[in-house]
Amino acid sequence: MSVVASGNVANKRGVGFNADTTLGLLLVSPIVITMVALVFYPMGRTVWDSLHRVNPMQVGTPFVGLENYSRMLSDAQLATTWGNTLTYVVLAVLAEIILGVLAAALINQIKTGRQWVLAAVILPWALPGVVNSVIWLWIYQPGAGLLNGILVALGLPFENHVWFNDRTSAIIAVTVVHVWRMMPLTIVIVLAAMQGIPAHLYEAARIDGATRVQMFGLVTLPLVRSAIAVAMTNATVNAFNLFDEAWVLAGASLETRPVLVQIYLETFQNLRFSYGMALSVVVTLVSLLISLVYVLRVYRNTRFD
Amino acid sequence: MKTTLSYKILIWTGIAVLLVWSLGPIYWTIASSVTPSADFSTRPINFFPQHFTLDHYSRLLGVNIARIGGVEVFKQFRAALINSVVTSVAATLLCVAISAFGAYAFTRLQFPGRKALFIIVVATLAIPAYAVLIPLYQIMIKLHLVDTYVGVALIYVSAFLPLSLWLLKSVFEALPIALEEAAQLDGAGRLYIFFNIVLPLAGPGLTAAAILTFLGAWGQYLVPLIFSPQATKPLTVLIPEFVTKNFIDYGLITASGSIAIIIPALVVIFLNRYLVSGLLAGSVK
């Protein structure tokens, strides 16, 4: 495979390339092999197979055109999972951005121990998603869970309250775990931008008699706008990819099931491979489209003056 | 602007809330992991453990197991711990090595298709893993690589390579080229320069790439759920299995969770500077 991959590229150039060229091709060949075999070929295969009927339980893989795609339109379960995913995206992005920017502004205000606070804040992001999810499963536990324990200690009637019996509270519970894990990313990105704001801008605002709130609204926020957009892109893509939290906390429950869990179930439990692939293609496109919208907005709004 | 006392109190209250939000769940996990199972049924619950025990850890690690009895999970747990370490370390070393060679070629060597290849590889950052998962599964079955270290490590490499390559290319570009040119004049070869000048200088960048790859591989769930079902099952797949329909063993869950937390926590505490720089480079796609 390596011979084919590097040979193709070399042929275009013809004979007579120098030692650097050979070395360059040699050094990138592991990347080319890995990416072609494990990303580009499977990617193309996903698109191709989504136009066929691929099911390990059925013989043959006849071409079915866009049948897998048109079937999505009448798939009621799928519609529910899309609704859930969009709910996760909206809730998670709002929470991560609003709370994340506030948290970054807070950390930006302290001087002593900033590194330690930052390390503590990043920790949830660094942990495996499923470990976060089982931690919160234990916190949400009706009997001995921490959440009900705190609420009861505050005198509220939450003994043995089951958070996953009701769709709204279940969705919020899953979102909270996701936000707990992903908000550090927003904080790091926005905090870095805040640290890059020159001190003399605040000095000027102070001389003009601005209050702290005005400084935040008129100096800080406009200058970290592009960082917020980057953070929003990340938050959106991550919320789209929500899987671990929903799967561990609520299993296959349709009330909380995001699109990604739906793909997993259709593919690896119902063994409808090609339908799963068509779903993957659609989710990928939607995710790319949303990222693109953000990127374009940032480029339009940020001028280098 | 003069900082009034009330303003300082406001800020530090906010920081305290932030710390409780970030560390509270982790504290609760560790506290529960040293609480005897019997204490889980006391009401109202205690926010601090009233009795201390290492029984859950003994059950997980197979130390003095006869005294405690119960389900034998330690063999599975030990295997999963080893599997997690082996696949994550192998994927990290392979990924950083491949992307370091590649990043050097992309920054310092001229070869046809250089720019296009780099863009195409980095563009795959935008492709979610599940878009390639099913064909990948079919490929791995054909190659007999399902449930092997090689198979899973290779998938991790393909997943984390673009980010690592992107990061290292920007690191190499920032290195002073004068040193390399001087070495070249002295007759040093490309590979000599790469190993003896570029790599030592790029230490922090390599660390950042390694941390991001390692944490990513360590935390993977969906990929090993499909590609490591039995012999190479990692911690992330084993731990949720303690949650069964009839009975959830919270002692085991919190103890195994605490163990899975240790390595990422050490990374965050001691290598946070590199982690933050890597995150920033990686997020500005």
Gap between the Cα atoms of A8 and A185, Å rounded: 40
Helices A225-240 and A167-195: crossing angle in degrees, nearest 10, is: 150
Q: Which two tokens stand for residue A236?
A: 């959106």
Nearest to B29 by CA among A140, A183, A148, A138: A138
Residues B89-135 pLDDT 10s = 999 999 999 999 999 999 888 888 888 898 888 888 777 788 888 88
Residue A184 within any structural domain of the chain: yes
- A10 has a pLDDT exceeding 80: no
Are A24 and A77 in the same domain?
A: no
Q: Do A11 and A133 fall within a single domain?
A: no
Residue A243's SS3 state is coil
Selected residue of A85, A108, A138 to mutate for chain B interface (largest B Cβ count, 10 A)? A138
Q: Please tell me which of B32-41, B169-178, B211-220, B265-274 the model is most confident about, judged by mean pLDDT.
A: B211-220
Query: Across the interface, which of B25, B128, B221 has its CB nearest the CB of A136?
Result: B25
Q: The tokens of A133 are what?
A: 């999810």
According to DSSP H, which parts of chain A are helical? 2-13, 19-35, 41-49, 67-73, 76-109, 114-126, 129-139, 146-153, 167-195, 199-207, 212-215, 221-223, 225-240, 244-250, 259-264, 273-301
Q: Find chain B residues with C-beta within 8 A of A9's C-beta.
A: 111-113, 117
The count of domains in chain A is 2
Same domain assignment for residues A244 and A293: yes
Domain membership of residue A45 (yes or no) is no
Is residue A254 domain-shared with residue A184, that is, in the same domain?
A: yes
Tell which wins on pLDDT, B239 or A178. Answer: A178
- Is residue A119 located within the same domain as residue A266? yes
CB contact under 8 A, B280 and A188: yes
CATH code for the domain in which residue A104 is found: 1.10.3720.10
Q: What confidence tier does A3 reach under pLDDT thresholds 50, 70, 90? A: very low
Q: What is the ipTM of this complex?
A: 0.87
The answer to whether residues A98 and A10 belong to one domain is no
Contact A106 B18 (CB under 8 A): yes
Residue listed under structure tokens 């929903």 = A246
- Inspect the interface and report whether the beta carbons of A267 and B134 lie closer than 8 Å: yes
Q: How confident is the model at residue B1 (pLDDT cuts 50, 70, 90)?
A: low
User: Within a domain: residue A280?
Assistant: yes
**Structural domain span for residue A217:** 68-301
Contact with chain A for residue B255, Cβ under 8 A: no
A140-171 pLDDT, tens digit each: 988 888 998 899 889 888 888 888 888 999 99
A67-98 pLDDT, tens digit per residue, is: 889 888 888 899 999 999 999 999 999 999 99
Q: Which domains does chain B have, with CATH numbers?
A: 5-53 (no CATH), 74-283 (1.10.3720.10)
Task: Look at residue A19 and tell me if it is in a domain.
Answer: yes
A42 in any annotated domain: no
Q: Does A280 touch chain B if contact means CB atoms closer than 8 Å?
A: yes
3-state secondary structure of A18: coil
Task: Find out whether A260 and A45 touch, Cβ atoms under 8 Å.
Answer: no
The mean pLDDT of A183-209, rounded to a whole number, is: 89
Tell whether A16 and A106 lie within a shared domain: no
pLDDT bin (cut points 50, 70, 90) of residue A6 is very low
Q: Are residues A216 and A76 in the same domain?
A: yes
Preceding omega of B44 cis (within 30 degrees of 0):
yes
Helix (H, G, I), strand (E, B), or coil: what is residue A48?
helix
What percent of chain A lies above the pLDDT cut of 90? 35
**Cα distance between residue A86 and residue B241, in whole Å:** 28
Q: Which has the higher per-residue pLDDT, A4 or A221?
A: A221
Residue of B124, B107, B67, B60 lying closest to B260 (CA atoms): B60
- In Å, how far are A38, A47, B94, B137, B139 from A42, measured between CA atoms? 6, 9, 21, 9, 8
pLDDT tens string A99-146: 999 999 999 988 888 888 999 999 999 999 999 999 999 899 888 889
Q: Specify the pLDDT at position B26.
A: 94
State how far the Cα of A194 lies from the Cα of A13, in Å rounded to an integer.
47
pLDDT at position B37 over 90: no
Burial of A39 (0-12, 13-18, 19+ CB in 10 A): buried
Q: Do A180 and B47 touch (CB under 8 A)?
A: no
pLDDT band at A8 (very low <50, low <70, confident <90, very high): very low
The answer to whether B85 and B148 are in contact (CB under 8 A) is no
> Does position A14 have pLDDT exceeding 50, yes or no?
no
In a domain, A231, yes or no: yes
Q: What is the mean pLDDT of chain B?
A: 86
pLDDT in tens, A174-192: 999 999 999 999 999 999 8
Residue A59 counted as domain residue = no
**Residues of A (219-278) whose Cβ lies below 8 Å from B:** 230-231, 233-234, 237, 240-241, 243-244, 247-248, 260, 263-264, 267-268, 273, 276-277
pLDDT digits (tens, 9 = 90+) for A274-292: 899 999 999 888 888 887 7
Residues A129 and A267 reside in one and the same domain: yes
pLDDT above 90 as % of chain B: 33
Dihedral angle of Cα A126, A129, A132, A134, to the nearest 10 degrees: -150
Are the beta carbons of A131 and B130 separated by less than 8 Å? no
Mean of per-residue pLDDT scores for chain A: 85
As a whole number, mean pLDDT of residues B6-32 equals 92
Question: What is the spatial distance between Cα B21 and Cα A35, in angstroms, rounded to a whole number?
Answer: 40
Show the tokens assigned to A118: 């930052």
Contact A177, A249 (CB under 8 A): yes
Domain identity same for A282 and A230: yes
Q: In the structure, what pLDDT confidence band is assigned to residue B64 with cuts at 50, 70 and 90? A: low
Q: What pLDDT score was predicted for residue A16?
A: 47
Q: Are residues A87 and A169 in the same domain?
A: yes
Decide if A41 is inside a domain: no
- Is residue A11 domain-shared with residue A85, that is, in the same domain? no
Which two tokens mark A290? Answer: 């949303």
Helices A41-49 and A273-301: crossing angle in degrees, nearest 10, is 120
Percentage, residues of chain B above pLDDT 70: 93
pLDDT for B178-214, tens place per residue?
Answer: 888 888 888 888 888 889 888 998 888 899 999 999 9
Angle at B183 (CA atoms; ends B177, B188), nearest 5 degrees: 125
pLDDT band, residue B234 (cuts 50/70/90): very high
